[in-house]
Amino acid sequence: MKIGLIGYGNIGRFLLQSINHNHLIKDGKITAISGRNPELGQKIADEYDAEYIQEVNQLIESDVDLVIEAATVEVVKKHAAAILKSGKDFLVISVGALADQSFYEQLHLICEKFGTKLLLPSGAIGGLDILKAAKSIGQLETVSITTRKPPKALPGAPLDQETVLFSGCAEDAIQKFPQNINVSIILSLAGIGPAKTAVTIIADPKVDKNNHTIEASGSFGKLSVKVENDPMPENPKTSYLAVLSVISALQSKDALIQMG
Amino acid sequence: MKIGLIGYGNIGRFLLQSINHNHLIKDGKITAISGRNPELGQKIADEYDAEYIQEVNQLIESDVDLVIEAATVEVVKKHAAAILKSGKDFLVISVGALADQSFYEQLHLICEKFGTKLLLPSGAIGGLDILKAAKSIGQLETVSITTRKPPKALPGAPLDQETVLFSGCAEDAIQKFPQNINVSIILSLAGIGPAKTAVTIIADPKVDKNNHTIEASGSFGKLSVKVENDPMPENPKTSYLAVLSVISALQSKDALIQMG
């Protein structure tokens, strides 16, 4: 599998290291990278034995089988349709782009028509296997998430007392609390949609790491998932699990033994 | 997708209802069923517009694309290799058959050689997406599961006090506590293997439903998943989630938008 990568910030470089140097994707290699800074792009491409292609449009015309976006919401909005129409699968990290329901549905139709796949890693959360199973026959009733972060990670939050910064549905959280947008969107898509998913965001001086508690109920029973996220090495702003879930999504894509 | 089904007990009939009557698998239909009781088999086949094929060997020679096993460990052991060699994918519910590591590895080699897939639904548990992500680069450190069941579900357990019936590694749990075999195996395969996965089984008079608490740690952070299982309608011995996870595994198999 030849992979094209858009973006070579911390996450992009972690993927280059994991895939091209540590060979974590069987028969997979990042053969081309694309991004706005040609000098840095060429340097990184050389380091990881890939080709530097400045324009995403040219990457789309290249022979890669799958494209990974590790850039911005704007890159997804601008190029997702063309990538999926070109016959390439597309793994999206900036899932905030999918907050627009009509855009999401448009991509779904394109995948159907062109036989391509949109891959959405589970990011900093999980337990989505249970939500998917529970809703497989339409009997998932409630889904909520409570995110606690250290106050210093939340600009303007009081440093000395627990403060609820947001409480409402995921649809509103996506608009009003973009720092948490990826988690709100992934949970909504895996579960019962942004209008019915409850989101609470708390600045909590008692925690020193981000944590998420997902609760759900339905005909299957009850579920509670708590994840305490350690940050990515050398990048305290990104949950390590979010990056690992990208590797995992790629490993699962063509796995001979599929679990979950 | 033409599906062959082995077994038409409670689980098999639930799948027939969900797939053939409620159309929960896009473009999927159970076209053939196989099992030991010809009279009942023919009656059920007629009810769900499928063909009855008594012998699994003949089912393997038919034109189905995928086979679901909803029968016994023995059926998996006897027929898995032939099914996967015939170019059909194979979804296994009696995962107890995979306790034998050399059998599991043999099936993996067959899948590789014949380009087929072995599908293992997550059963009565979940959160496996996080375990898979955490171990994608090999940094999943500890995995444990504590299962609590009402004493009446555990023959011989005292009815009036909490009693630890088993505490040890999954490898021993698989041998000594076959009632819990599916959960022990799936968790071991998704995580760090049967020798390192810790299993505790408790008869607890305070609970009226089975529940499982999975805890894990690694470089990603910490995870705790608690699932309280409601039973399947009309079958109090089977967790509803275990059956829903079969539908979900089939829905995910060819999904255009893959999450997690």
- Which residues make beta-bridge pairs with B169? B198
Residue range B208-237: mean pLDDT, rounded: 95
A212 is catalytic: yes
Residue range B140-151: mean pLDDT, rounded: 97
Shortest Cα distance from A91 to chain B (angstroms)? 9
Average pLDDT, chain A: 95
Among the residue ranges A102-106, A135-139, B51-55, B240-244, the one predicted with the least confidence is A135-139
The residue with greater pLDDT, B241 or A180, is B241
Residue range B112-131: mean pLDDT, rounded: 96
Average pLDDT, chain B: 95
Token pair 């050389």 is found at: A46
Instruction: Give the Cα separation of B154 and B204 in Å (integer).
Output: 10
Instruction: Give the Cα separation of A5 and A3 in Å (integer).
Output: 7
Shortest Cα distance from A199 to chain B (angstroms)? 19
Through-space distance between the first and last CA atoms of chain B, rounded to whole angstroms: 23
Chain B residues in contact with A190 (beta carbon < 8 A): 259-260
Residues within 8 A of B (CB atoms), A 5-64 only: 18, 22, 24
Chain A residues in contact with B228 (beta carbon < 8 A): 221-223
Output the known binding site of B: 124, 182
Minimum Cα–Cα distance from A247: chain B residue: B136
Q: Do B24 and A136 touch (CB under 8 A)?
A: yes
Residues within 8 A of B (CB atoms), A 64-103 only: none
Count of CA atoms in the C-beta half-sphere (13 A) of A249? 28
**3-class DSSP assignment, residue A246:** helix
Confidence of residue B154 (pLDDT cuts 50, 70, 90): confident
Token pair 């290249």 is found at: A62
Amino acid found at B124: A
Residue range B70-88: mean pLDDT, rounded: 97
Minimum Cα–Cα distance from A189: chain B residue: B259
How would DSSP label each residue in B171-231? Answer: HHHHHH-GGGHHHHHHHHHHTT-TTT-EEEEEE-TT-SS-EEEEEEEETTEEEEEEEEEPE
The pLDDT assigned to B233 comes to 87
Dihedral angle of Cα A111, A113, A114, A115, to the nearest 10 degrees:
70
Domain A2-123+240-253 CATH class label? alpha beta
The residue with greater pLDDT, A245 or B178, is A245
| DSSP state at residue B20 | I
What is the fold, at CATH topology level, of the domain defined by B2-122+240-253? Answer: Rossmann fold (3.40.50)
In our burial notation (b when 16+ CB lie closer than 10 A, e otherwise), range B112-145 reads: eebebbbbbbbbbbbbbbbbbbbbbbeebeebbb
Superfamily of segment(s) B128-228: Dihydrodipicolinate Reductase; domain 2 (3.30.360.10)
CB B65 within 8 A of CB B71: no
> Which tokens sit at A20?
């091209």
CB B128 within 8 A of CB B186: yes
Domain ranges of chain B: 2-122+240-253, 128-228
- Which residues make beta-bridge pairs with A226? A213, B224
Model pLDDT for residues A164-195, shown as the tens digit of each residue: 999 999 999 999 988 889 999 999 999 999 99
Instruction: Give the Cα separation of B31 and B74 in Å (integer).
Output: 23
> Which tokens sit at B56?
């699994």
Confidence of residue A138 (pLDDT cuts 50, 70, 90): confident
Mutation for testing the A interface, residue in B219, B244, B250, B254 having most A CBs under 10 Å: B244
Angle CA(B153)–CA(B157)–CA(B163) in degrees, nearest 5? 110
